[in-house]
Structure 1
């Protein structure tokens, strides 16, 4: 199925091209004119600047010359090396650049059909879940020396790189807006993938071969799945960007990884390599200014011992100028940061080892009646507000390389590769970051920060978890992990703000997200902060990603800004090996039942946390396959089966919206068998004692002589009352509604009695009215009696229970009688009935508003 394409500024490429060809003119883009406003928003244009079309440079211009290659790109006077590096990666994959440059053969210059050239091109970039089609003309800025001012190709006849840069500049507002950025942003815009940064701990990777081996396997799997991988050396304090190391590598330059190989060498190479197994990576330098001079570099003694045929047999070949091989151990010694851009898989029959993607758009928005930006933010020291909790991007240098350097600096606040493998567990190594963030804010008491406004419960911009009072007012998304657990990659991407730099804005919001483990049957928004399963760092970058292993269960994900009140759009993406359903939670309470007129409404919320069981196995016997069942009223929750486990760790939470608070909750343990299941035991939890504080949370409930289950229960009657917050009806309105409930049945009874024997078509219609009116009047009278009111202490008296049961039975009978009567009435009238007999008032009273607008009848002429 083709992906959705959005039109940038409403321009349609083919429609504009046909209009230009029909008029015989070259296209001039009114939204991106050939003027200084398309170039800069702060600087002044250089002297002698002009705009020229490709055919003014040469007689035979081309979009491509001898195909497309990473050698075609040369950075101009603009500090957008991050974009040029990403474009060089794009040029190596035809399946990717053909999406960015659609219909490249149709857009190519045809010297034999000059009448088909209209000076118009279009390119596509991925933004917030859809491909955006950007239309440009072919006028390019030229310097005083007659050469292109910005990006250019090696061949003077080739213009695809310059035109691509112009389209990207138009998307972001102007050329100057491209200064300062990181390769991850451009890779996402060019591919629609998700960029996962990996910060390398060189000391750990150098001295621990298992950590180095795990990183190598991660990069090998990513390369096998066609991910784009870049890396660079982050300059340390006092070191210069673009400075060359003794080994030939350049600090701050983005290198591409084009191959990851594990070589098994023969015995004849033991003298050359010192080992029979070598982990190798093939690198590409898009700039071509310096190359690797260490082991396995061009002309090294390792290559001199290996012939060309043996290289090809082992796969140690280079495809392009600027490529070179190096051992992975040397790679870990020099490079500090790796960026993996994973591509979404659209096929239906991918192997289970591949990533599947689900995505949901969302928005941090103020409550109803508040315009965006009307919610005041926290005021206080802005530069040093919370350096441990918030990771900031660096200042943008004149060439844009400084921001590329800050990409690695941000990761030092998060998790490096060595730290993540040390941390283990389901937190993805983020425990340290979250703990530091919480201790920093709560220990200091947020000194110097004042709350100057209020984010109400209807807002969706509550800030990070430091702001406990408003944190849960953020958008909430739910997903479920099946089986024994799964590794997931979560990416939060905010809308790009570069286009706002002309107005003085353009800075990214500090964003992050929290993952909460919730009840297995929860279907509504979370109102109490529970167990935190994972947490990302907060960065003012366009996207934040986190890879984490989660156990089976249901989770709620809250994407947030760092401060409350910040607004903007975002896209939430989740990658996993299994199919995961991601959806936004919008309701605070479960949807009311269709039988809400017949059954009482929930009045209490109870949460049950079943932690574990112990003592299930018998001596000298195989442990049973056990599972647990939690029952409350009509709801049943069942855990998955724990295979041969005498001490299963259930760790299962369930939430129940209860209509009868005094009823018990039962927990049952079952042994799973081949033909039938056997019950091991059960317990009843009396929640009345828990609500009155007589039972402490975490109590061990005894099921049998040697079996105990730690259970935590939390019942909240006030929660539903606060969430529902029913309005108090005034006495006159209540009295009028009661009178109306009695007046309509009386009218039905009167009309049925008056026309009991006067209906020539069907004499059962008046009888139907009499029964309907009698029972409806009885229901209205009973609702006015004191027995129908609930006691003030919240309990249920015997008389009120009888009234509720009787009201439910009468309501159910009236509902069925109404449906049956309607079906019967409509079935007895022919299509050619006499429309001259005026009896609309009769059916208005008989069957209510629904029937009054749907049919007429010819039964009894009223008031004749």
Structure 2
């Protein structure tokens, strides 16, 4: 018996896996979403991302190298890989897990002797310094740490009319998709409603399909609750009458099962009525399953805000705003299929603040961050070497900007601008706030960023 070295586990004992059960296995019959059942840690956001990850074997086995076991070449350690601010890093852990009454305290599999999900959770906790650091979060954080991708957010009440098409296309190209229902007050977090849905809780989207019901097309969405139980009980739920009306072959195609496993179908209309947020993590070229899928050109820039030097705050602070880091972006090629005969370049900007979760125990909360984009001429750039000065921002409006400054790890947004030279200004909302960040630009065509 051992005491767990990870913070938060002071009230639990840690046992080696062999002390928890006989014949432990790393993975039994393939890693799938039913192997993920939430324990006492409030990390449903992380588990929802794992469930999405299991839908793409190539991505899954990059994060969880499969050539590991408790028998062959067993050395008491396991390793996992995560994307960390532009690089893939290896995290090595032992197989000592927190328990209470000889039961796993945190994530577990539905099969008592399967441990890949519990070990993955431990590795992710080590990456952030403790299990406690995983309490509360956004599914997109883990999605990006599993793939190196970039996330787009949708407030469902303000979502575009073609949201189902966006979801279906994203699912087909291997994107990871999560959703949640806002809880207005903290007391409502993870509160079960009469419908079987849970407020303040993260779900995985595990299927986006259409079927024929009473001679009409019906849009369906399949979701999974990381608890591994507690399901939607309305139309198209496991036991609903709709499944008795559609053809048996459709039941099979949609893999309908009457099983309390946390996974369920619901109509897209009910999805829109009940859920409030949707997150789609788009994969970068190195994570894509096939060369036939659309790839991005990706530029990665690292930087930092330093008090008195480069932490200028937002444009509300004109005396210091110009001191923020500045990144040149040259859009070189227009899109192949411009709308309304416009000559534009589609690109996505993602600003991510670094290490705030890991340093949270030292009081490092997330900053409120955002960015703006300015068009510049070669003359204004003085040969592309000069930092734009205060007067430039006093007399030139931004060409575009993120919708709002927000206290999330990453702020991202898609833009369509004419080919030209631009400068991106990433900043915190308030001046004099110190921290590191990574600025990524994803474009459908070639760009130069520096």
Alignment deviations for residues 751-806 of structure 1 (CA, whole Å, 9 cap, x no partner): xxxxxxxxxxxxxxxxxxxxxxxxxxxxxxxxxxxxxxxxxxxxxxxxxxxxxxxx
Alignment deviations for residues 257-279 of structure 1 (CA, whole Å, 9 cap, x no partner): 2222344x4xxx5xx36xx3332
Q: Is the 8 A contact 1:496 1:542 kept in 2?
A: no
Instruction: Give the drift of 1:199.
Output: 0.9
Q: Is the 8 A contact 2:58 2:289 kept in 1?
A: no
Q: Is 250-259 or 61-70 further displaced after alignment?
A: 250-259
Q: Is 521-530 or 532-541 further displaced after alignment?
A: 521-530
| Greater RCO (Cα-Cα under 8 Å, separation 6 or more) | 2
Counterparts of residues 549-588 of structure 1 (less than 5 Å): 549-583=416-450
Aligned partner of residue 51 in structure 1, secondary structure: strand
Quickly say closer, same or farther: Cα 1:167–1:298, change in 2 above 3 A: closer
Q: Is 1:469 the equivalent of 2:319?
A: yes
Instruction: Give the drift of 1:493.
Output: 0.8
Of 154, 159, 182, 1:198 maps to: 154
Counterparts of residues 614-653 of structure 1 (less than 5 Å): none
Q: Is 1:68 the equivalent of 2:31?
A: yes
Instruction: Give the drift of 1:490.
Output: 1.1
Q: Is 1:164 the equivalent of 2:120?
A: yes
Q: Paired residue for 1:316?
A: 254
Q: Matches of 1:90 and 1:349 in 2, distance apart? A: 16
Larger of the two Rg values belongs to structure: 1
Q: Paired residue for 1:702?
A: none
Q: Paired residue for 1:360?
A: 300
Instruction: Give the drift of 1:238.
Output: 8.4
Aligned partner of residue 581 in structure 1, secondary structure: strand
Instruction: Give the drift of 1:229.
Output: 0.6
Counterparts of residues 156-555 of structure 1 (less than 5 Å): 156-201=112-157, 211-212=160-161, 214-237=162-185, 240-263=188-211, 265=212, 269=213, 272=214, 276-312=216-252, 315-318=253-256, 321-346=261-286, 350=291, 354-366=294-306, 375=307, 455=308, 459-481=309-331, 482-483=333-334, 484-502=343-361, 504-519=362-377, 522=381, 523-524=384-385, 525-527=387-389, 528-529=392-393, 530-536=396-402, 537-555=404-422
Q: Is the 8 A contact 1:233 1:335 kept in 2?
A: yes
Calculate the TM-score normalised by the size of structure 1.
Answer: 0.47
Q: Matches of 2:225 and 2:289 in 1, distance apart? A: 36
Q: Matches of 2:79 and 2:28 in 1, distance apart? A: 19
Quickly say closer, same or farther: Cα 1:322–1:467, change in 2 above 3 A: same
Q: Is the 8 A contact 2:4 2:97 kept in 1?
A: no
Quickly say closer, same or farther: Cα 1:100–1:257, change in 2 above 3 A: same
Instruction: Give the drift of 1:565.
Output: 2.4
Quickly say closer, same or farther: Cα 1:198–1:71, change in 2 above 3 A: same
Q: Matches of 2:133 and 2:284 in 1, distance apart? A: 28
Instruction: Give the drift of 1:311.
Output: 4.2
Alignment deviations for residues 807-835 of structure 1 (CA, whole Å, 9 cap, x no partner): xxxxxxxxxxxxxxxxxxxxxxxxxxxxx
Instruction: Give the drift of 1:34.
Output: 5.5
Aligned partner of residue 38 in structure 1, secondary structure: coil
Quickly say closer, same or farther: Cα 1:99–1:299, change in 2 above 3 A: same
Instruction: Give the drift of 1:337.
Output: 0.5
Q: Is the 8 A contact 1:359 1:571 kept in 2?
A: no
Q: Is the 8 A contact 2:190 2:201 kept in 1?
A: yes
Q: Is the 8 A contact 1:488 1:574 kept in 2?
A: yes
Aligned partner of residue 179 in structure 2, secondary structure: strand
Calculate the TM-score normalised by the size of structure 2.
Answer: 0.87
Alignment deviations for residues 671-700 of structure 1 (CA, whole Å, 9 cap, x no partner): xxxxxxxxxxxxxxxxxxxxxxxxxxxxxx
Q: Paired residue for 1:128?
A: 85
Q: Is the 8 A contact 2:2 2:14 kept in 1?
A: yes
Instruction: Give the drift of 1:335.
Output: 0.8
Alignment deviations for residues 272-317 of structure 1 (CA, whole Å, 9 cap, x no partner): 36xx3332222233323222232223333322222212445xx433
CA RMSD of aligned residues (A): 2.6
Alignment deviations for residues 727-746 of structure 1 (CA, whole Å, 9 cap, x no partner): xxxxxxxxxxxxxxxxxxxx
Q: Matches of 1:177 and 1:237 in 2, distance apart? A: 22
Quickly say closer, same or farther: Cα 1:149–1:311, change in 2 above 3 A: closer
Q: Matches of 1:510 and 1:220 in 2, distance apart? A: 32
Q: Is the 8 A contact 1:479 1:581 kept in 2?
A: yes
Aligned partner of residue 473 in structure 1, secondary structure: coil
Alignment deviations for residues 636-672 of structure 1 (CA, whole Å, 9 cap, x no partner): xxxxxxxxxxxxxxxxxxxxxxxxxxxxxxxxxxxxx
Q: Paired residue for 2:69?
A: 108
Quickly say closer, same or farther: Cα 1:295–1:475, change in 2 above 3 A: same
Instruction: Give the drift of 1:163.
Output: 1.3
Instruction: Give the drift of 1:516.
Output: 0.8
Q: Paired residue for 1:764?
A: none
Instruction: Give the drift of 1:231.
Output: 0.9
Quickly say closer, same or farther: Cα 1:190–1:45, change in 2 above 3 A: same
Q: Matches of 1:497 and 1:171 in 2, distance apart? A: 12
Q: Matches of 1:162 and 1:581 in 2, distance apart? A: 42
Q: Paired residue for 1:803?
A: none
Aligned residues: 429
Instruction: Name the one with the larger helix percent.
Output: 1
Q: Paired residue for 2:340?
A: none
Q: Paired residue for 1:39?
A: 7
Structure 1: which 5+ residue stretches go unaligned? 1-32, 206-210, 367-374, 376-454, 584-864
Q: Paired residue for 2:339?
A: none
Instruction: Give the drift of 1:53.
Output: 1.1
Q: Is 177-186 or 280-289 further displaced after alignment?
A: 280-289
Quickly say closer, same or farther: Cα 1:538–1:304, change in 2 above 3 A: same
Q: Is the 8 A contact 1:200 1:332 kept in 2?
A: yes
Structure 2: which 5+ residue stretches go unaligned? 335-342
Q: Matches of 1:357 and 1:56 in 2, distance apart? A: 49
Alignment deviations for residues 201-231 of structure 1 (CA, whole Å, 9 cap, x no partner): 1xx67xxxxx43x212221221122101111
Instruction: Give the drift of 1:511.
Output: 1.4
Aligned partner of residue 164 in structure 1, secondary structure: helix
Instruction: Name the one with the larger strand percent.
Output: 2
